[in-house]
Structure 1
């Protein structure tokens, strides 16, 4: 093995060569982006399957209160996971080139930030246990603080792999870590039927992911050197991190309020419904955004290509996710009983309300790609602040009616206030306008309404839905949705172009 200095010198030469050549990314190849999405999507599909199976197995083996305890801790730990690198990952991905000294500076800043957040999380453990009036929360919080230290150093190498389109390597890391997470989680849930089984699976996945990223990346940290470009990247990262902070606080205030005022049982029901709904949305938006944000950052000066790239990706996401979410919402009582058992039936109305909000979030959540790829960190932070105020207010309004009331109030606020706010803010600047977003969404709105009408008609004519009929209903939802979408020429063209890009070229 080469000694450390030579390894670093080779890395430096590689980045110097990138600087001199402009570090050109294959910006004129949508087919390459499509293939990267497929590779990343395969890994995320495996993560979805293993995560979904882990959810089903652990939900059947553990009690709602076990999930409630983890949800109390996760509200804080997941927040820290979002902001612990101060947005440095997105700052690196958004830049076409970075020097070794800039990367080193950002790496050490991320290390110090992660260490500080880990200490803060550990110190907050007694306060969290006191706030939720649940002594078991204290030790679990300290345990998660250790995971913050382990995951912190991987921010910069992961960002480099993303920016340089090493999605094959990242896919392998995702598949391996997801498999280990599933294996450890199931094993410990069978042997140790407590909330510690959930922590064990999270710890195994974190360690496996960190090890995989460092083995895959060629980056080796050196001495930091701060310049004006580094400070600009840090400012952009701070704005992104600020958005993540306020966005996460608003999205998790519901769990904090329910846990504090309604107890761990109600929180467990709410958390399972919330995760069952949002997990597949994240698995779709994650891999596509991971590929598209670097690409869109390079082509933002070409308005036509930028718009078409975004429109194709969002149309694909909505076509993939919305029919499934719609069917799950309409058949929620039967679906939850089938997956989790009769004890989870009270979560059905919560799931239905959140699912109605999820239908628009499939698209609205992608507007973050516009802000990030255009370098609009400050705009993103302002939008996050306004959205957070509205979201938390909706939770407080719905709290007197229990967990179902929180979900209902949140969904109503989404359609009345949040959707217009997000779309107007995203379309104020840049190649994609608010009108473009509306035109993009209208065919999918009509397709959703058409599929909903057919599914409701079938549901009222069937006395009881069997598992086989449930599968058939999902198929009907996708079929009707697709038939309506194909009535629009722009959507037919998008789908045809997507199929042509994925079709292998003759040798």
Structure 2
């Protein structure tokens, strides 16, 4: 059993590397595309796309009705079940495409920008095109065909980049940005269908199919309420505090979100289908989850901690002196980010165990608490919003999430506490060391910041090694790496 478990974790590690490589390529090409097109196009071109982005992002969260996750969660599905889910996803994407296109005149009127109308209709066509990908993508993910998915992702990102640059040079219009998105969507759709062996047939609904649809609807419901709670801070700050405060807050939030998203995305894509298949083996399931999350915290938390402590110098180095006033917001949000490295992964437990209804309820409760924290902090400005959100996270959201996640399944609430406790001690130890040095240095130069970054990892690792479970984890990881 130990050998089988080791082999499965080794395959998972390889799949994470493959998926992470594709995501890294998408990030690099996306960053370069943003820089180059910003120089070629006018600010108003990006403004028009931004006006459409809120509606398209919302549609993108719910357009497949959670069918992708419903298929991934099942170890096996019958052809008739896949056919039924496929045609439901096609009808759903067609419906959402019509809704988006129908909202075009309203969006144009709301923004008082006639050009928004045609662009919104054009994005509706992309929703219609991407919808049928849900089932074949889910099948490839569930069956661990991550090499094929990575190739498709890299090809799509490359076409998006190349087409965006070429069209921006030729057209110098916001339509270049649309053409870039359209090219990537078309390549992705074609690649998925070439890689997948699935071909749709006639639907036949059975009780299991309906159960999968209910699970998917609950996942979509969670995505919906989570979307509103995650964006309500921007809405409130923009409405009551103005664009300057919103700009500072947005940059601070996005800079913090980057390392968490880069870890959570590729690892979750690999682990959720694996955990779905092994959930009957409680010990194996528990060790797979806890070890993956431990490694994520080891990777991300020392870096976030150093960024929080050196926030003024970091923001000035990356964005310029005009962004230093965002440092207090970044520091408060960074303190919340230290625990979100772990709590953001609890969704894997709900999804892999098929607990869609529990996930939706948790999302609803968490959204109400989150929005209330934003409202409570609004009177103290954007810094108050960030501070209120962070305090609420530690006082209310962490206990709520851990209790809900550990209420059922192989990973209990006690397991989550035991998982987090050594890392919390390591954060405190490394934080004290960095704060003492930071106080002695005063203003931190870029070279000194780099030294503090390495010191943060060294101090954190020194404390973690005091715990036997973490020593064993690092030792197993080192042995696994040495065998490759």
Give the TM-score taking structure 1 as reference length.
Answer: 0.85
The CA deviation string for residues 23-45 of structure 1, in whole angstroms up to 9 with x for no partner, is xx999722222222222222223
Q: Distance in 2 between matches of 1:174 and 1:208?
A: 9
Q: In the alignment, which of 55, 75, 78 is matched to residue 99 of structure 1?
A: 78
Aligned to 1:379: 358
Q: Secondary structure at the match of 2:483?
A: coil
Q: In the alignment, which of 454, 459, 463 is matched to residue 484 of structure 1?
A: 463
- CA contact 1:90–1:372 (8 Å) conserved in 2: yes
| 1:322-401 map, 5 Å | 322-401=301-380
Aligned to 2:92: 113
Q: In the alignment, which of 264, 271, 275 is matched to residue 285 of structure 1?
A: 264
Matched, 1:156 2:135: yes
Higher deviation after alignment, 460-469 or 61-70: 61-70
Q: Distance in 1 between matches of 2:386 and 2:174?
A: 25
The CA deviation string for residues 336-361 of structure 1, in whole angstroms up to 9 with x for no partner, is 23223334344333322222211111
Change (3 A) 1:60 1:334: farther
Change (3 A) 1:129 1:409: farther
In the TM superposition, residue 197 of structure 1 has moved relative to its aligned partner by 6.8
Aligned to 1:4: none
Q: In the alignment, which of 289, 296, 300 is matched to residue 317 of structure 1?
A: 296
The CA deviation string for residues 451-473 of structure 1, in whole angstroms up to 9 with x for no partner, is 22222233333354333333333
Q: Distance in 2 between matches of 1:202 and 1:118?
A: 16
Aligned to 1:12: none
| 1:40-55 map, 5 Å | 40-51=19-30
Higher deviation after alignment, 459-468 or 208-217: 459-468
Change (3 A) 1:354 1:387: same
Give the TM-score taking structure 2 as reference length.
Answer: 0.89
- CA contact 1:65–1:265 (8 Å) conserved in 2: no
Q: Distance in 2 between matches of 1:476 and 1:100?
A: 54
Higher deviation after alignment, 364-373 or 76-85: 76-85
Aligned to 1:504: 483
Matched, 1:402 2:381: yes
- CA contact 2:159–2:184 (8 Å) conserved in 1: yes
Give the number of aligned pairs.
481
In the TM superposition, residue 196 of structure 1 has moved relative to its aligned partner by 6.8
Q: Distance in 1 between matches of 2:229 and 2:280?
A: 33
The CA deviation string for residues 23-78 of structure 1, in whole angstroms up to 9 with x for no partner, is xx999722222222222222223334444555677789999998777665433322
Aligned to 1:224: 203
RMSD: 3.1
Matched, 1:267 2:246: yes
Higher deviation after alignment, 134-143 or 404-413: 134-143
- CA contact 1:68–1:259 (8 Å) conserved in 2: no
| 1:178-189 map, 5 Å | 178-183=157-162
In the TM superposition, residue 402 of structure 1 has moved relative to its aligned partner by 3.4
Change (3 A) 1:289 1:76: same
The CA deviation string for residues 385-421 of structure 1, in whole angstroms up to 9 with x for no partner, is 1111111112222333333332222222111111110
- CA contact 2:70–2:216 (8 Å) conserved in 1: yes
Higher deviation after alignment, 183-192 or 347-356: 183-192
Change (3 A) 1:247 1:229: same
In the TM superposition, residue 143 of structure 1 has moved relative to its aligned partner by 4.4
